[in-house]
Every structure is written in structure tokens, then in C-alpha cells.
Chain A
Amino acid sequence: MSDYTELKKVASQVRRDIVRMVHGAKGGHPGGALGCTELFVLLYFKIMKVDTNFSMDGKGEDIFYLSNGHISAGLYSTLARRGFFTVKELSTHRKINSRLQGHPTPHSHLPGVRLATGSLGQGLSVGAGTALAKRLNEDAQFVYVLMGDGEQQEGQVWEAAMFAPHNGLDNLIAFVDDNGQQIDGPVSKVLNLGSIGDKYKAFGWHVLECNGNDFESLEKAILHAQKNKGTGKPTCIVMKTEMGYPIDYMMGSHKWHGVAPNDEELAKALAQLEETLGDY
């Protein structure tokens, strides 16, 4: 069993960054960002081969697309903590003249961002395109795409879901953040998805399930997905997460999908998150 002490330290700091960024901007999407922090940290600090001397091409590197771009605070903090840009810049999130737009974009030339996302449903198609490019370039690295569960309601997701297995893209690994919540309420009430895993299976994917808020469970699933290379089928990892994790008052509902904490709520959240690497 691996020791996740260091990754847990990073995750705690990333979560402090997320709530402070959203509070500082008086807006944003803390819930999903907090829920996906283990994934961001695991990918960028352990799994992925990345070059912080950023190039858009990403040849010889692993590529990550955040299709559910609204949880940008988590990605921004992770990129900054990993060294793509200075952590000081996190304070500009969602403010005028910032490279840290409300939703990520390469238009502002922020190192680490290769796609404008936030108009949901587009990331898996782009990920499949990059997986094709890697195959053409004989580049052995992987392409990772994170999507929300509510995002699965977009039709384009299923166009891409059909395309990837048909074209044998086993270098593509998709994550669905299965937190069961979207802006208007529980996914099951808004537009029920049924079993996300069964749907991907029916489309010809390998499907794995894991606890997205547990480093060990998540890493096991990713390593398994990587071993599926050579099978001619992409892998979808349905990761159960808790929106707002682990802030007690943010978990258990959709309420914190897109709301910023006030001063008092911020203090309560920070009291539950150890400052490990120094606040920005």
C-alpha cells in the first residue's frame, strides 16, 4: 500500500485555496471542485507525466481535459501548486484582467490549460481527438478527461462515447464525477441517468468504479485503466464523490454547487482544512 501522506497535504492546501478563491471572488463553484480534489492532486502530483514548461502540443506528455470547466478553482490551485504558475495568481480568479477566468480557457494563455470548457459535453470529444493524435504520433502517453455526472445529460457526450470504442482508443481514460448533484437538485430528480456504468458498458467501454475521495481507491482504478491499454477499448472510471467534501456543512446536498461562502462560512471551512503548504 502506498503512503498518501504527502498527497493528502497537497489536497488539504488545494481545498483551502478553493474555498478562499471562491470566497475572494464572491462566486464560483466550490462543491464539485472540493469533491474532485483527490483526482486533481493524484493526477498532477503522481500519475501524469507533465511538463510545467508548458507547450500546447503536449507531445510525450499525458493530457488532462476538465470538461466540467465550472470546477476550475480546483484545477487552478492544483496547477499553481504543481508549478505551472505562481500561487499568488490564484487571488485573481474570476476578476478583471485575470488569466484565471471563471471557466478555463487557453485564450488567456494560462499555462496548463489546453481547452475552453464550461459549455458542457465537449471535453470527451476533444479528449478522443487528442487520443487519436497520440496514436498517429506514436506517443504512448494517456489522455484523461473529467466530466460531471449532470454533464452526461448532454447528447455530445454519447457521440464521443460511441466514437472512442469504435476507434479503439484505449489510451483514453474518462472520469465521471458521480456526486449525484447538479444545480437544480439531485441528478435522479432533474433527469435521471440510471446506471452511468451500464451505459458506458453498453457503448463498449471498460467501466471501473471507485471512491473518488479516497486516494488509494482512485489510484487502483487508474492503474487498472492504464493496463486496459492494448485491449482496444477505452476506460470510464465512475468515481463516487461527495460534493463539498470534506466540509461538514457543504456535503449532502446540491446547495454548494455554485455558491460562495460568506466570511463566517469561510472561517468554518478553513477550520476543517489544515494549512500545509502556506496560503497564497
Chain B
Amino acid sequence: MKKFTYTEKKDTRSGFGDGMTELGKKNPNVVALCADLTGSLKLDDFKKNHPERFIQTGIAEANMIGLAAGLTVGGKIPFTSTFANFSTGRVYDQIRQSVAYSEKNVKVCASHAGLTLGEDGATHQILEDIGLMKMLPGMTVINPCDYNQTKAATIAIAEHVGPVYLRFGRPAVPVFTDANQPFVIGKAWMVNEGKDVTIIATGHMVWEAILAGEKLAEEGIDAEIINIHTIKPIDKEAILTSAQKTGAVVTCEEHNILGGLGESVAHVLSTQLPTPMEFVGVQDTFGESGTPDQLMEKYGLKDHHIVAAVKKVLARKTR
């Protein structure tokens, strides 16, 4: 198992904010919209540097999505920003009609996704957003794993023509990916090569997968770990190549097991290379208040839950 270390912890939303600061300087067409959460979304710098391209919409998310769609007519590249819950579920029809079906070049950027938002509780902890967004034809869905990857993704999506959903979070988490990484939409990152089992993880769960890989190595299990940051379009080739090699797959996501990364991987495998699978994710429930760590533990998203899922799937491995 490759050794991963980190020197600091940072929130992925700061990766978004810093990515926007950079985009603001280099792309005059980038416009940021925010629904009364400028500080939470780390857009203070963008706002200060480009007041004319920062649009405060107030607590009116439906209007924000419409404004973004309208800004594209005129060649702007709008980035909408609020919490994940208000970025998706609250404005699903606006995204469906005015953005996706209208083929608008809007970037829907969502912070505080998943359980790790913490103490605010289930009203704000959306666990269905990946599913909602990936079901929209033409929508690209990205869930980066740390500060550096989020920053790289933010910059990369400005160059992609078409609607994108970019999901990130609130808590400070280890920064373990390369600061100068190239970010290619739709291209999985091979975190660790292994031969016994494939662990496919997205978002905050990638670090948990690395911790799980270390524990498994101590028991003599050689895990291949893949980071799927782009859930749609998904990197089929990376999934099939790895599953062919290991013959067993575990998916990990801070999302409902229904509708998320796991189902997308299962679709690829069941149609092209049926492989035993286990799914680490939230088991079709709402979250609740608590610290991020307490919630990850209670809802089964820690490294040891991944280890247990690996053992379960290894027992069913046939090739």
C-alpha cells in the first residue's frame, strides 16, 4: 500500500473559493452568483476583486438558477453557489427546465453536501443530490475529494461547455492530492494499485478508503483504490479494468446508497462484467445533528466500515 500523508487539513469549499479567485483573474466571462452565503462559500475574495461579476441573489435560489441560465445568453459562464440542499432539491425543476433541457452552460456549485455538514442536521444534509443531478441528461456530476482537487475541478469546469454539478463540503479534511494536479473531467484517479479487491470512492470518502487500505494491508489484503471524482460521465474503463483484475468491488460515498456512485458503478459492472459488490453509503435514511465524525461513525462511513464491506465482498469472490 502506497503511503499517503498530509501536512494540513482544509475544507473543500475553500478549494472552490480559491479556484474562483483564480478564475476571476483569468476568465472575464466567469460570473459568480450566491444566495446569501458568500462567507460560507468562500467567495469573499471573488466579490472583492470583481464586484461587477459577483451577483448577490438574496435567499431566492430558484431565481438564482434562472439568472444563471439567462447570463449564458450573452456568453457568460455563471457559477451558482449555495448549500447542496438548496442547490439541487430546492431548485430541481429550475435546473431541469432552464439549465439542463435548455442546454445552458451553468455551473451549479454546492457546499455543505452530505452528513459532514454536521450540527445543522438533516434539513441541510442532502444525501440525494448526486442522484438528482446525474439523472438529468447532459449534466456532468463532480464530487472532488480534498482542497486541491476541488480547486483544480473548479478551474477545469469553466473550460467545459455544458451544465455541471460540483459538490463539495464544509469540514476541514486532509489535503493529500497534488497541488498542481491536472484535472480531467471523467477520468478516474488510481490512488493505489492492488490485486485483491477494488475500493471505489468519491468525495470525503477517498481519505477513509486510504485509511481502510492501510488496515487491510496489515491483514495481508492488497486493495486497489480508485478515486472517481466524476460520477457522470463515469470512467467505465477504469472500473472494468480494475474489476477484471480484482474480481470484487466496494463503493464508498457520503450519499444515499440509492442513486449515487455505487449504483453508477453497479450499472457499468452488471451490464459488462458482473462482479460481486458492496456499497458503503447512507442506508436510505435522513441524517441528524452531531459532529461530522460522530455522524460518519453512526451512519457507517468510517474506514472500519469499508474494511468490513471488503471482507463481506471477498467472501463472495469467485474469480
1/0 per position for A101-132, CB-CB distance to B under 8 A? 00001110000001111110111111111111
Is A53 located at the chain interface by the 8 A CB criterion?
no
Whether A130 touches B102, Cβ cut-off 8 Å, given contacts A122-B94, A122-B97, is no
Q: Which one of B38-46, B68-76, B178-186, B188-196 contacts A? A: B68-76
Interface residues of B in 52-104 (CB under 8 A from A): 52-53, 55, 57-58, 60, 62-63, 65-76, 78, 93-94, 96-98, 101-103
How far does the Cβ of A117 sit from chain B's closest Cβ, in whole Å?
A: 7
CB contacts between A and B, total, < 8 Å: 115
Q: Which one of A133-141, A242-250, A265-273 contacts B? A: A133-141
Q: Are A130 and B74 in contact (CB under 8 A)?
A: yes
Is B133 located at the chain interface by the 8 A CB criterion?
no
Q: Tell me which residues across on chain B come within 8 A of A127, comparing CB atoms.
A: 70
The docked-state distance in angstroms from the alpha carbon of A156 to that of B71 is: 17
Contact residue among B60, B67, B70, B97 (Cβ-Cβ distance under 8 Å from A119): B97
Contact residue among A107, A123, A125, A139 (Cβ-Cβ distance under 8 Å from B103): A107
Q: Are B31 and A136 in contact (CB under 8 A)?
A: yes
Q: Are B98 and A126 in contact (CB under 8 A)?
A: yes
Specify which of A58, A130, A131 lies most central, judged by the most chain B CB atoms within 10 Å of its CB: A130
Chain A residue with minimal CB distance to B94?
A122
Q: Tell me which residues across on chain A come within 8 A of B65, comparing CB atoms.
A: 125
The docked-state distance in angstroms from the alpha carbon of A124 to that of B60 is: 13
Q: Are B60 and A163 in contact (CB under 8 A)?
A: yes
How far does the Cβ of B29 sit from chain A's closest Cβ, in whole Å?
A: 9
Q: Are B102 and A125 in contact (CB under 8 A)?
A: no
Chain B residue with minimal CB distance to A119?
B97
The docked-state distance in angstroms from the alpha carbon of A253 to that of B62 is: 32
Q: Tell me which residues across on chain A come within 8 A of B69, comparing CB atoms.
A: 115, 125-126, 129
Is A63 located at the chain interface by the 8 A CB criterion?
yes
Number of interface residues of A (CB under 8 A): 39
Is A196 located at the chain interface by the 8 A CB criterion?
no
Whether A132 touches B102, Cβ cut-off 8 Å, given contacts A137-B74, A155-B62, is no
Contact residue among B70, B75, B93 (Cβ-Cβ distance under 8 Å from A125): B70
Contact residue among A59, A107, A125, A132 (Cβ-Cβ distance under 8 Å from B62): A125
Contact residue among B63, B71, B78, B96 (Cβ-Cβ distance under 8 Å from A160): B63
Contact residue among B58, B70, B103 (Cβ-Cβ distance under 8 Å from A132): B70
Q: Are A163 and B71 in contact (CB under 8 A)?
A: no
The docked-state distance in angstroms from the alpha carbon of A57 to that of B72 is: 7
Chain A residue with minimal CB distance to B70?
A129
Q: Are A129 and B102 in contact (CB under 8 A)?
A: no
How far does the Cβ of A151 sit from chain B's closest Cβ, in whole Å?
A: 13
Chain B residue with minimal CB distance to A57?
B75
Chain B residue with minimal CB distance to A137?
B74
Contact residue among B60, B73, B98 (Cβ-Cβ distance under 8 Å from A133): B73
Q: Kindly list 9 other residue pairs between chains A and B, CB separation below 8 angstroms, not including A116-B97, A128-B70.
A: A115-B98, A115-B102, A119-B96, A125-B65, A125-B67, A130-B73, A133-B73, A137-B74, A159-B62
| B residues adjacent to A (C-beta < 8 A) | 31, 52-53, 55, 57-58, 60, 62-63, 65-76, 78, 93-94, 96-98, 101-103
The 5 closest A-B pairs by CB, nearest first: A129-B70, A125-B66, A133-B74, A159-B63, A129-B67
Can you sample 7 A-B contacts with CB below 8 Å? A57-B75, A117-B97, A124-B66, A125-B70, A130-B70, A156-B63, A163-B57
